[in-house]
Structure 1
Amino acid sequence: MGIPLQVDPRGPISRFLVNTFGLDESVAYANTVDSAITFLIVFVAVYLIGRLLLLPVVGRLLDNRGLEAHAQKPLRKLFGVVIVFVAVGVAFAAAGFGNILTALATIGAAATLAIGFAMQDVIANFVAGVFIFTDRPFRIGDWIEWDGNSGIVEDISFRVTRVRTFDNELLTVPNSHLTDGVIKNPVAKNKLRLQVPFGIGYGDDIEKATEIILEEARKRDDILADPEPSVRLTELGDSAVVLKSRIWISQPSRADFVKTRGEYVTSVKQRFDAEGINIPFPNRTLSGSLDIEGLDRVMASADD
């Protein structure tokens, strides 16, 4: 009949204390200390492995997929949170705190359900942020327009996007607002077409005015030659014949757009003035009637 194998349930710290100092009464306390130290060592080891080894690998994978810095930043943060959760779970298991780990998982599941109901808007913005990172309708530095607002994108996170307006105001926009509606990104294709209307008088030479508009466009280095500028007669207004110029600029920004348009319009106006082409003022005709109360009494008093 064999002798049953005795397994010492005590950890290495407990055995060291008992064998060295004979502190049998301290076994329970030593086991707790041993488990805590084991938890700490395993947590630090797993966390460092994740941060020093896995995180750089994830970074290289993101680079290989062509993701830009603004898209990689939140993904790296999310992976860092995952590393912490994994390190905590592995450390609990290694320290023999399986029951605690199970309890934490149950509490975490219940808390997640409760938080999910309470934070529906936040979750919606988070999901919208994921779509912004995957679909990339705009990037940091892009000029965007939505719901009557416009500005330059300064930062994109999983919950909000920060946009600096052209009045130097900072807008913090929930991501769901940018994915539920229509977003205009004038600089998405690195070229922007400007349509600039010019009104001339009915007695002016349309062909001459058209040639002036095109010449002034061709003189500018910030206006592309391909696609070439064009002019179309688009309207016969009440007081003017409207010629609409279509020009293209490359690598546009809001500042470039305003500067190019302003200087181009100024140069065309100066040429029109020099060539005697009139830019007429709009005519306004007022109609209606004027009633004066008590006029009959005033007239009667005058007769008296």
Structure 2
Amino acid sequence: MDPVALQLGAGAPFANVEAYLRRALFFLVAFVVVYLAGKLVVAPLVRRTLDRRGFEAGVTGLADSLVAVLVFFAALAVAFMAAGFPSFLTAAATLGGALALAVGFAAQDLIGNFVAGVFILKDRPFEVGDWIEWDDTAGRVEDIDLRVTRVRTFDNERITVPNGELANNPVTNPVAYDTLRQKFVFGIGYDDDIDEATDCIVEEAEAHAGILDEPAPSVRVEELGDSAVGLQSHFWIEDPDRSDFVRVRSEYVQAVKERFDAEGIDMPYVHRLLTGEVEVLEDVAGD
């Protein structure tokens, strides 16, 4: 056998090992460089941008997670390319696309709630601590997650609401602004003086410390009912909170009721008068 060929054959395994080590080194160096660049440059830059735009902590946390995943896969892709394995990236991309499609079909509702949570955190239709109403349900928001919102009802029950339900349906937020208008209908008798009753309602509103003087309280004739004339009172409350404006309304209604009693103004309730006659038939049995 040729000595030169024998020598080349003996050195071939060492050459293969050297090539594998070189590829491993390229892979490691490329992965570390790209990963550190993403963690130390890209991730802080994204977080500062979101913080500067005033996004909620939930959105910035989501962005941090997404950036971390993207940085990892970018580092992995660059490392495989540096090591000379581009075919691996093609296969991984195909497999990842198929998996993403399957997961997307299987988790449509979950993804929809996730996206809705992002928009709730971004648009801020309500915040933690607000009182909200939707679909005949009401409560105070305790926590806004990326998938669900947790609400404590006024019966001290916790409701876990999917974000999609709150994002795709009308939600009332009575405490979103600095002031809140309230209204209540007082019924007086047809024989009572409407102007006198109106003065009593307005004066009691002006005397209550929790009701604003501006805008001023007002009263309008709302309806002519079966047994009463309905006078609707409009009044405004500053810095509304459920424990405040419910209490203020209750105290105000009680004060008007007591004032009506003192002034002799009737607050009638519905009466029903049944009329008719009863015919009694007596059947006398004869012999």
- Relative to structure 1, is the Cα distance of residues 198 and 121 closer, same or farther in structure 2, using a 3 angstrom cutoff? same
Residue 49 of structure 2 corresponds to: 61
Could you tell me how far 1:29 is from its partner in structure 2? 10
One-letter amino acid of the counterpart of residue 232, structure 1: R
In structure 2, the gaps of 5 or more residues are 1-12
- Relative to structure 1, is the Cα distance of residues 196 and 26 closer, same or farther in structure 2, using a 3 angstrom cutoff? farther
Pairing 1:212–2:174 present: no
Give matches, 1:119-268, under 5 Å: 119-268=107-256
Could you tell me how far 1:252 is from its partner in structure 2? 1.6
Residue 16 of structure 1 corresponds to: none
Give matches, 1:257-296, under 5 Å: 257-285=245-273
In structure 1, the gaps of 5 or more residues are 1-23
- Relative to structure 1, is the Cα distance of residues 227 and 109 closer, same or farther in structure 2, using a 3 angstrom cutoff? same
SS at the partner of 1:242?
strand
Could you tell me how far 1:185 is from its partner in structure 2? 1.9
Residue 15 of structure 1 corresponds to: none
Pairing 1:35–2:51 present: no
Preserved contact between residue 70 and residue 155 of structure 1 (Cα < 8 Å):
no
Give matches, 1:40-119, under 5 Å: 49-93=37-81, 98-119=86-107
Instruction: Give the distance between the partners of 1:200 and 1:125, measured in 2 at CA.
Output: 50
One-letter amino acid of the counterpart of residue 115, structure 1: V
- Relative to structure 1, is the Cα distance of residues 256 and 112 closer, same or farther in structure 2, using a 3 angstrom cutoff? same
Alignment identity in percent?
53
Could you tell me how far 1:113 is from its partner in structure 2? 0.9
Q: Report Cα offsets for 1:261-303 as digits up to 9, x if no partner.
A: 1111122222222222222222234589999xxx97xx54788
Instruction: Give the distance between the partners of 2:265 and 2:203, measured in 1 at CA.
Output: 15
Could you tell me how far 1:126 is from its partner in structure 2? 2.5
Could you tell me how far 1:125 is from its partner in structure 2? 2.0
Could you tell me how far 1:245 is from its partner in structure 2? 0.8
Instruction: Give the distance between the partners of 2:131 and 2:118, measured in 1 at CA.
Output: 20
Could you tell me how far 1:167 is from its partner in structure 2? 1.5
One-letter amino acid of the counterpart of residue 206, structure 2: R
SS at the partner of 2:126?
coil
One-letter amino acid of the counterpart of residue 108, structure 1: G
SS at the partner of 1:193?
strand
Residue 7 of structure 1 corresponds to: none
One-letter amino acid of the counterpart of residue 98, structure 2: A
Instruction: Give the distance between the partners of 2:84 and 2:228, measured in 1 at CA.
Output: 87
Instruction: Give the aligned CA root-mean-square deviation in angstroms.
Output: 3.5
Preserved contact between residue 59 and residue 118 of structure 2 (Cα < 8 Å):
no
Deviates more, 1:89-98 or 1:259-268: 89-98
Instruction: Give the distance between the partners of 1:168 and 1:290, measured in 2 at CA.
Output: 54
